[in-house]
A = this chain, B = another copy of it.
Amino acid sequence: MSKSLVFGHQNPDTDAIGAAIAFAHLQNQLGHEAEAVALGTPNEETQFALDTFGLTAPRVIETVANEVENVMLVDHNEFQQSVADIQEVNILAVVDHHRIANFETANPLYYRAEPVGCTSTIVLKLYKENQIVIPKEIAGMMLSAIISDTLLLKSPTCTKEDIAAAQELAGLANVDLEQYGLDLLKAGTNLADKTVEVLVDLDAKSFPMGDKTVRIAQVNTVDINELFERQVELEKTMAVMNEEQGFDLFVLVVTDILENNSEILVVGDVTTPVEKAFSVTLENNRAFLPGVVSRKKQVVPQLTAAFQ
């Protein structure tokens, strides 16, 4: 069989890139030619992980059908989060930990989803099931992905399996889990020198909800107020993106990774479902969501329900 490309979602985070690198490596070890690629350049957190473990960033691609017939997806399945021409290729495999929506295939495939905190936790299982040894640098990327997705094992999405996986991978990568974890997360919170356009797109995903399209971006910080000093500028940019890209609503989730709370900034016409979803009243387009750190578990399902 010809080469497959392996990639995570648009606006890749550390799991999208780390799981792609790991799953492609696993496929190669199993005799299936595969190359990890990415739908964007690494963010600063991911780059810190790549640098720490001596890896180069995967090649960035915009389309796939021009070079391969087969692809494998990690850390996503929804087509609007995938490569632009996803419907022109054959999806051989998916490894993911999200809900399934806006996804379909013409043929049977390998699909492995589990409700755990990180795709890389599942990829670790696949290495074990296939009895393949994980190189140190790949263990390091998988560990970084788990730290990133679970906010150093503190997110409500984090399961016992993620914790066990992180401990095992920290051993393989030969790093101190707590110390490396904090260093990694802090590397991703340097927001001051980013433009608002970059900030609202850094980790943004689109979700169909009812008959609306909701854009949800998330940024991690150690100081929520610092970000909101640029609120007016942020709102303008989000409104422009709604207009230009057809989003009905834009929700920016600003997450304090030390205190484990979030504050949301909401721009768009249909804000009532947001207030309903979180039982809050938006003031100055903002609301504080105590204990909320997980978009997947504490934001998307609640908003989806409120839109139905």
- Please list the residues of chain A having a beta carbon within 8 angstroms of any beta carbon in chain B: 97-115, 129, 296-297, 301, 304-305
Contacts of A100 in B (CB 8 A): 100, 103-105, 109, 111
B114 and A113 within 8 A (CB): no
**Bound: A113/B104 CA distance, A:** 13
Closest 7 interchain pairs by CB?
A: A111-B113, A101-B104, A108-B115, A99-B105, A106-B304, A100-B105, A106-B301
Let me know if A113 and B107 touch, CB within 8 A. no
B residues in contact with A129, CB < 8 Å = 129
Q: Are A113 and B102 in contact (CB under 8 A)?
A: no
Are A113 and B110 in contact, with the CB atoms below 8 A? yes
Chain B residues with Cβ below 8 Å from A99 are 104-109
Question: A216 → chain B, closest Cβ, in Å?
Answer: 14
A12 CB, nearest partner CB in chain B, Å? 19
Q: Are A114 and B106 in contact (CB under 8 A)?
A: no
Pull 5 A–B residue pairs with CB atoms less than 8 Å apart, ordered by A: A97-B108, A99-B104, A99-B106, A109-B113, A110-B114
**Least distance between A206 CB and chain B CB atoms (Å):** 15
CB neighbours of A304 from chain B (8 A):
106
The reply to whether B101 and A102 contact each other, CB–CB distance below 8 Å, is: no
Max chain B C-beta neighbours (<10 A), residue from A108, A113, A296: A108
- A114 to B108 alpha-carbon distance, docked (Å): 7
A103 vs B97: C-alpha distance when bound (angstroms):
16
* A86 shortest CB reach to chain B, Å: 13
Asked if B107 contacts A301 (CB within 8 A), the reply is yes
Assembled-state Cα–Cα distance A99/B296 (Å) = 25
Q: How far is the CA of A297 from the CA of B177 in the complex (A)?
A: 47
User: In angstroms, how far is the closest chain B Cβ from the Cβ of A283?
Assistant: 28
A98 to B108, CA, bound (A): 5
Residues from chain B with a CB closer than 8 A to the CB of A111 are 100, 111-114
